[in-house]
Amino acid sequence: MADSEPVIYSAPVAPALLASTAQRIRPNTKLIALLSVGHFVVDLNQGCLPAMLPFLKSAHQLSYAAVATIVLAANVASSIVQPLFGYFADRTARRWMLPASVLLTGGGFALMGLAPGFTALLALVVAMGLGVAAYHPEAYKTATSVAGEKKATALSWFSLGGNVGIALGPPVITALVTVVGVMGSLGLLLPTLVATMLLLAVLPAFSPTPASRAAAAAAARGVNMPRAMALLILVVTIRSWTTLGFTTFVPFYYIDTLGADPRLVGPLLFVFLGAGAAGTVIAGPLADRWGSRAFMQWVLLAALPFGVLFLLVRGALAFVMLGIFGALLTSSFTVSVVLGQAYLPRNAGTASGLIVGFAIGAGGLGVTALGWVADRYGLPSALWISALMPLLAFATARLLPAQRVHEAR
């Protein structure tokens, strides 16, 4: 493939430079859709892991701390190393990584049901995580190059594939494991192979166009804001503490504390993550209209009461609160990527890796701490900490500076 210059994911940070160029780039909806399919399958496998954990815990007689270690391993492999893949994506196009990473992700998860012990399980989790880490920076960069002018809107549709995959993962794997046991993970090989072949078939179509190269060159003259980026990473890290805390411990809370049927795990996580997928699509146009920074700040505050209410109510109302909480939290996901690209316009792939990868992965460290809290003080304590974290995220987000809009000298 030809070399690919860095491209910007966000609304332009130098409007006078980029407006005319961006307007000439019409969004290629077919390619965005195919990238979204790959995103769906990658995150479908990743989304299966939280719902698989109770079954793996039972099969291998694991402690809560060991379960949290699995989550940490998954997040280190899939997230914390992702900026490295983003760095490579900024240097040259590696489109072959798109199908290869889908295959690695699906293969790693599918074989978990055959793992003979904890060590083998961790190795497969790491393999799955590396596939996730490889897909996202290259796919975000590629999607941006064909996204047109309204980056937040286009990327919200690309992100929809991933969020739907994350949401469907729990009910899919719950159904498979309920019927055939932990070996049901092998069922994820089918969508993995289909998506891999589709991406292989369309690799030539992802070559950069003259218009996208012009936009990339203009973006490269933008001004990087590393301090603002560091603050944004902190905001996303705090937010991910909440998201990962809920996806990891809400299933155990219902089964171990409330005595619910284990088959409720899939629907629970589907409500939380499925509402998040809907929130992502709604968020894109709103962020394009109101501005990514303002949206990022206030949506975190808006999420706070619903996480608290989820822990205070029972029955169907708890599902409603969980859904609203998930929608508001996840709606800031794509917006944070857009804002990160505005802060680092010269290094699009790296910025994507830092937000989608490192910041979210660092949140996995919080899950390990929450596992310690759950073992010693009970699951409700861990969930209360998670539910209150958006307040800290909001306070930190209020410190985010405005984007610079002038060209670098």
pLDDT for 117 equals 85
In the block, residue with structure tokens 């073992």 = 375
Residue 51, both tokens: 């719902």
pLDDT average, residue stretch 29-36 = 83
Cα torsion 143, 148, 152, 154 to 10°: value is: -60
Q: What is the pLDDT of residues 215-230, one digit of tens each?
A: 555 555 567 888 989 9
Residue 162, both tokens: 């991933």
What confidence tier does 232 reach under pLDDT thresholds 50, 70, 90? Answer: very high
pLDDT average, residue stretch 373-380 = 88
pLDDT for 203 equals 74
Is pLDDT larger for residue 70 or for residue 28?
70
Domains of the chain (ranges, CATH numbers): 15-397 (1.20.1250.20)
pLDDT for 200 equals 87
pLDDT average, residue stretch 330-334 = 83
Q: What is the pLDDT of residues 247-285, one digit of tens each?
A: 888 888 888 888 777 777 778 878 887 788 788 778 777
Most confident segment among 137-146, 257-266, 325-334, 345-354: 325-334
C-alpha distances in angstroms, 49 versus 16, 80, 255? 45, 18, 17
Helices 226-252 and 292-312 sit at what angle, rounded to 10 degrees? 20
Residue type, 180: V
Dist. CA 377–CA 365, nearest whole Å: 18
pLDDT for 409 equals 41
Whether residue 25 is predicted with pLDDT greater than 80 in this model: the reply is no
Dist. CA 257–CA 150, nearest whole Å: 46
Q: Are 333 and 303 in contact (CB under 8 A)?
A: no
Percentage of residues of the chain with pLDDT beyond 70? 84
Which residues, 6+ apart, have CB-to-CB distance to 283 below 8 Å? 152, 156, 295, 299, 331, 332, 334, 335
Dist. CA 102–CA 196, nearest whole Å: 6
pLDDT for 11 equals 41
pLDDT for 221 equals 56
CA torsion sign for 220, 97, 120, 174 is: positive
pLDDT average, residue stretch 373-394 = 91
Dist. CA 45–CA 306, nearest whole Å: 28
pLDDT for 155 equals 77
What confidence tier does 148 reach under pLDDT thresholds 50, 70, 90? Answer: low
Is pLDDT larger for residue 87 or for residue 40?
40
What confidence tier does 23 reach under pLDDT thresholds 50, 70, 90? Answer: very low
pLDDT for 407 equals 47
- Range in 78-87, 101-110, 185-194, 396-405 the model is least confident about: 78-87
pLDDT for 5 equals 38
Q: What is the pLDDT of residues 280-292, one digit of tens each?
A: 778 777 877 787 8
Percentage of residues of the chain with pLDDT beyond 90? 25
> Over the chain, what is the mean pLDDT?
80
- Range in 98-107, 236-245, 275-284, 358-367 the model is least confident about: 358-367
pLDDT average, residue stretch 353-379 = 81
pLDDT average, residue stretch 129-141 = 86
What confidence tier does 4 reach under pLDDT thresholds 50, 70, 90? Answer: very low
Helices 226-252 and 379-397 sit at what angle, rounded to 10 degrees? 160
What confidence tier does 21 reach under pLDDT thresholds 50, 70, 90? Answer: very low
Q: What is the pLDDT of residues 169-227, one digit of tens each?
A: 888 998 899 888 889 999 999 999 999 999 888 777 666 555 455 555 555 556 788 89
